Amino acid sequence: MAKRKSPRSETERAVKIDAYIKDAGVVVEQPITETLEVNYMPYAMSVIISRALPEIDGFKPSHRKLLYTMYKMGLLSGPRTKSANVVGQTMRLNPHGDAPIYETMVRLSRGNEALLHPYVDSKGNFGKAYSRDMAFAASRYTEVRLEKIAAELFRDIDKNAVDMVPNYDNTTTEPVLFPTTFPSILVNSNMGIAVSMASAICPFNLEEVCEATIALLKDPDADVSEILKGPDFPGGGYILYDPEEWQKIYATGRGSVRVRARYRVDKGENCIEITEIPPTTTVEAIIDRIIELIKLNRLKEISAVRDETDLNGLKLAIEVKRATDPEKLMQKLYKLTPLQDSFSCNFNVLLDGSPKVMGAREILTEWCRFRQNCVVRRVTFDLEKKKEKLHLLYGLGKILLDIDKAIRIVRETEEEEEVVPNLMIGFGIDEVQAEYVAEIRLRHLNREYILNRLEETKTLEGEIAQMEDTLKSQRKINKIIIEELQNVIKKYAQPRKSLFLYPSEITEYEEEETPDYPVHLFLTAEGYFKKITPQSLRMSSVQKLKEGDRIVFDVETGNKGEILFFTDRAQVYKAKISDFDETKASLMGDFIPSKLGFDDGEKVAAAIVTTDYSGELFFAYQNGKAARVPLSAYATKTNRKKLQNAYSDKSPLVAVTFITEGTEYVFTSSQQRKLIVNPFLIPLKTTRSTQGVAVMTLKKNAFLESVTVLTETTFANPHRFRTKTLPAAGALLREEDVGEQMTLG
């Protein structure tokens, strides 16, 4: 029989329900600052403190959880295990999907070549840091274990050298930091993007970092900039040494390091072989840029480029044409491609839970402070253990005075639980000592065993005294750290991979001045472009065109200008006129969509020539609006070849032209109404994508059909088509008004 609910419990339940739904659906105003503080700040702080930024031991939480799991799995020694096994075990500490955990492992591995000193010994395909397309194999196919240098991360971790905290479900513990015996924070690169801040730490040579740290431990005021000479990237290359920039990085933690690729020349094959590249680029990015420049005729010296990377390492082969100077070509490639790139330093490190940007010297100083604390905790741990053992041996020493008495006490005690108290009374020892004595095996109750233990007492007393002296002396603590650093140098130091190029050895590419001479430019409706010299045009002026094609753009200009190709997708592609080869009227010319890499189906809408980006452009749209935009809006400080939002895409573009003084335009609607427009009556807008202002009033379903340049012969009575105010509907054409027109689009 079901138990009936009491009226009181029903009433309480109703009150709770009323409380839950009381404010349901009520919109409460809340200041935006409060919303950010309550809803966004916890997320932002979590990303900054627990995800993106490294701490003084050189690791992010994801790295630390993975490596500690491998350590607990016994992978510091013994055979490798499947990566999938490690990933699964890591989830006990890192409650994320297997993919991000495995990607973390890949970056830490030797096979990926992302770190100067990898921590994971890998077997299988782990991809390459220098390749964008060389993907790593799945975790079920690869195997891993810890590298030998990883032992330096965990040394003394079981001796209370660092704090241990519960994992996310409170089933085990994990270290807050690693008690690493060397400044791994500067040895291996680390990059991360948090909320409103980021970190980018470049790697340094292990021996140089350790030597610089030793110098600081011996003398806090030591100038270690001469020891820590500069970064050392795992991919090698040449570092363009800049003393002022390095001092800035050394002092503030911010700055830029320029890195050049390393190459060799195979003269027999007319080939340049790139073997080391900057850390900020990939082989594919370099190839893409070289191919782009070849299409633009800016690298005429190159006949082919291919990726020949194999098991022996990176190799990018560039075949050059005969009579090409490889050295000059490389200077040109350094200037125009990612074969020379910059690593932007931002030494943002979590220090005691707070992000702080520090210079290389300050990071080493803080690491020394951290390591000193680790050593003190380790020595204190060992000291307590030895004191406990010594205390037991003191109790054993008292037993030595009368072994027979101890045996008699044990034999004559009737109850087992009384053995320890009786020993305590009989020899004047405490409970811990009595327990130790009571657990001694019968075979050990001989004089030799006890004398050996007492001899050990003297050794322990000496060690304890030495440890206590060590804890009292900062110099002795530093001496321990120095010995450990020297041991790391002896075991794991390796020659620099990145070499220095000093200012006297650096040759910068100076682009040859573009020759200037008159040329005729032609553009067809289908997108074919020709650059023809006046001499060639005089010899043959008959233009070869695709069937049904026509010339829509014809201008005489100089070879040093630039040309802007506006497309039907509100984009503009910029190119130098000198990048196009001279051709003849009898040839089709360059197909612009292919030449400049248009998007699929994208077509040329108009072309504008300029030398200094001065003047203004006039845009007309089907909805009857028009815009006046300064040409300077399309000038960029960098050599960007493609600009999006080149004009408004709210209505199809009818025409775009360069405004010349005194020019007026004739707007013609689909209903054959015509309106003369002075472009200077339209307000100038600095934004490229401006929608413009209404110029021609259109009836329903009508649209602006064409825009033409007004000439003296266009209309017999032009005053009929002019208006004092815009927008206007225009006037219908009469027979007596007909003249000649020049069409723009």
Residues with catalytic annotation? 141
Q: Of 353, 366, 275, which is closest to residue 316 (Cα–Cα)?
A: 275
Cα separation of 174 and 155, whole Å? 15
Place of tokens 């001899």: 455
Q: Coil, strand or helix: which one is 377?
A: helix
For residue 364, give the nearest of 488, 485, 255 by alpha carbon.
485
Residue 656 β-bridge partners = 619
Write down the residue that tokens 């890195």 correspond to.
Answer: 259
CA-CA-CA-CA dihedral for 522, 523, 528, 531, to nearest 10: 30
The encoded tokens of residue 599 equal: 């998007």
- State CA 344 to chain mean position distance: 10
CA distance 657 to 395: 103
Asked whether the beta carbons of 262 and 238 are under 8 A apart, the reply is yes
Residue type, 372: Q
Q: What angle do CA 47, 50, 52 make, to 5 degrees?
A: 55
Q: How many CB atoms lie within 10 A of CB 611?
A: 12
Phi/psi at 575 (5° precision): -150, 150
Question: How far apart (Å, rounded) are the C-alpha atoms in residues 427 and 142?
Answer: 63
> φ and ψ at 715, to 5 degrees?
-125, 145
The residue whose two tokens read 């380790």 is 378
Residues facing 346 on adjacent strands: 200, 254
Rounded Cα–Cα distance for residues 149 and 490 (Å): 12
**CA–CA gap between residue 390 and residue 397 (Å, rounded):** 10
Query: Which is it for strands 143-146 and 81-82: parallel, antiparallel or unpaired?
Result: antiparallel
Q: Which two tokens stand for residue 164?
A: 């241990």
> Which strand (E) or helix (H) includes residue 627?
strand 625-630
Cβ within 8 Å of residue 166, ≥6 positions away = 172, 173
β-pairing, 238-240 vs 499-501, is parallel
Residue type (1 letter), 593: P
Interatomic CA distance for residues 707 and 741, integer angstroms: 10
Question: What is the token pair recorded at 549?
Answer: 């094609």
β-strand pairing of 316-320 with 704-709: unpaired
Count CA within 13 A, CB hemisphere, residue 609.
17
List the beta bridge partners of residue 307: 316
Contact indicator for 172, 106 with CB cutoff of 8 Å = no
Rounded CA separation 698/696 (Å):
6
* Residue 265 φ/ψ, nearest 5 degrees: -110, 125
CA distance 743 to 214: 79
Do 272 and 329 contact (CB within 8 A), yes or no? Answer: yes
For 696, half-sphere exposure in the C-beta direction (CA atoms, 13 angstrom radius) is: 34
Task: Provide the CB-side half-sphere exposure for 120 (13 A, CA).
Answer: 31
